[in-house]
Structure 1
């Protein structure tokens, strides 16, 4: 249960930072911000996974970049 709560909190933080660093306004609800952060973390994990578990600053930055990539893809596909 605690893992789900931590995932939601980290997803929210990553999503907010991805929206902040993405150029231009990104209109989405708080729920979609959490989903964006979690999806960005999963995308970054798939790209940079090296079999290591735990929190790494580079992984956190990669998660934010992953979230920004998802915003870009959404805009290119005219989603949202």
Structure 2
């Protein structure tokens, strides 16, 4: 249970850093920010494994979590720009 709480806290911090780094209006409050950070961690892990940085069973570090969250925010801004 404690692992899940730490995942949410780190996800919240990574999502908040990504929102600070990415210019523009961002969606949602703290729950969306937490989900963004957690999803960014999954994306960062996938990218890290694709380039050979992480082995099977390893997760992304904080920096790759932020990079993944920034990529997701960029995709959101691009999608929003084309649909508006």
Q: TM-score, normalised by structure 1?
A: 0.82
Aligned length: 76
Instruction: State whether structure 2 residue 47 is matched by structure 1 residue 47.
Output: yes
CA distance in 2, matches of 1:65, 1:14: 9
CA distance in 2, matches of 1:12, 1:70: 15
CA distance in 2, matches of 1:27, 1:77: 13
CA distance in 2, matches of 1:18, 1:60: 11
Q: Match of 1:76?
A: 78
Unaligned runs of 5+ in 2: none
Which is higher, the Rg of structure 1 or of structure 2? 2
Instruction: State whether structure 2 residue 66 is matched by structure 1 residue 61.
Output: no
Unaligned runs of 5+ in 1: none
Root mean square deviation, CA, Å: 2.0
Tell me the alpha carbon deviations over residues 3-25 of structure 1, each in whole angstroms, 9 at most, x when there is no partner. Answer: 11011001000000000011223
Q: Match of 2:2?
A: 2
Q: TM-score, normalised by structure 2?
A: 0.78
